[in-house]
Amino acid sequence: MKKYLLYLALPILIYGCGKAKSNENKREVSELETTETVNELTEIREASIKESLSYLSSDELQGRQFGTEGIEKAANYIQKQFKKADLKPYFSTYRDSFTHNGKTGYNMVGFKEGNDPQLKNEIIVLGAHYDHIGIVPESKQVNGDSIANGANDNAAGTASILELAKYFSAKETKRSLLFVLFSAEEEGLIGSKHLAQKLAEESAPIYVMLNFEMIGVPLENQAYSAYVTGFEESNLAGKFNQYAEKEVFGFFEKAKEFQLFKRSDNYPFYQEMNIPAQTLCTFDFSNYPYYHHVDDEAELMNVSHMKTLLEDIIPGIEGMANSAEKEIQLNNKQ
């Protein structure tokens, strides 16, 4: 009340002071917002992982099957997140369009240019598929639930790529980064085949492709954080662990036995471009029972594990992106 009376008594003086105070408040708010924004960008956050994971695997998206309204909503969401992270489209838009069985699909592609005059012309691809199988037949429904939400397969991988896109938007790297979310993986790697062929035809300077698949629950009884498919195809795992100064990636016998190297979106890049292209995964066939199942829901995902895994992976990505030479190489088996 006293402050109010003082303002009335000294209108001219208070006008000037009030204006200064207003500007000061605006400056304080602006600085606070900037600090919060920077903090949010430069750290991996459970809240943002959970937000993306929950939306992408929600019933609203109806299981994100290729060619449906649900996957269109997912594409729109991804586009908004790419814009929010200030990624640039690699092509004319974020959408790399293709057709399959008379339907149109989109790989979502965002680009962060490196800052080194020479090394920025070498590109690291970080990818995951964002489609799933959609509505299941009556024989696979459980208590009337027909939506295969695909939280672990592969909203978890998609949310992780979006989180890394946000993180690296505020980090400088020497090499450029390409963030790709593939469609039609469940149709037979159609989206990744299309993009890998397109980039190969354009002689795009892709250095390494690292794919994220089914990482929503932790591995059990393993010394490493995730296994990589095609472990013996390159020195990627060893170099990654060296960059991170811990055992991030390891060998998983079942991945070799089931030929998982050839069963995810890394493989077309290996085929078309003859580069190190591998998938990381934490699904070991025993730690999660809901593969292609209506109970593959967001609430079953271990977001704390996902955050820790991404934090473990970041030093490896930074090592690849900033090394003076191309240290990740295919193993010569000839």
Distance CA 318, CA 138 (A): 46
pLDDT tens string 313-328: 999 999 999 999 999 9
User: DSSP readout, 107-155?
Assistant: EEEEEE--SSTTGGGSEEEEEEE--B-EEPPGGG-BTTB-EE--IIIII
Residue 332: band (very low, low, confident or very high) from pLDDT cuts 50, 70, 90: confident
Residue 305: band (very low, low, confident or very high) from pLDDT cuts 50, 70, 90: very high
Residue 8 clears pLDDT 60, i.e. is over it: no
CATH class, domain 42-322, is alpha beta
Residue 118 clears pLDDT 70, i.e. is over it: yes
Residue of higher predicted confidence among 33 and 264: 264
Alpha carbon distances (Å) from 249 to 169, 218, 262, 278, 288: 25, 13, 18, 11, 20
Distance of alpha carbon 137 from the chain centroid: 30
Residue 19: band (very low, low, confident or very high) from pLDDT cuts 50, 70, 90: very low
Name the 3-class secondary structure at 228.
Answer: strand
Measured torsion, CA atoms of residues 316, 180, 298, 291, in degrees rounded to the nearest 10: -90
pLDDT tens string 276-293: 999 999 999 999 999 999
Q: What is the pTM of this model?
A: 0.88
φ, ψ of residue 29 to 5 degrees: the values are -65, -45
Q: What is the pLDDT of residue 38?
A: 52
Return all residues near 206 (Cβ < 8 A) that are at least 6 apart.
123, 124, 125, 178, 199, 269, 273, 275
Residue of higher predicted confidence among 12 and 222: 222
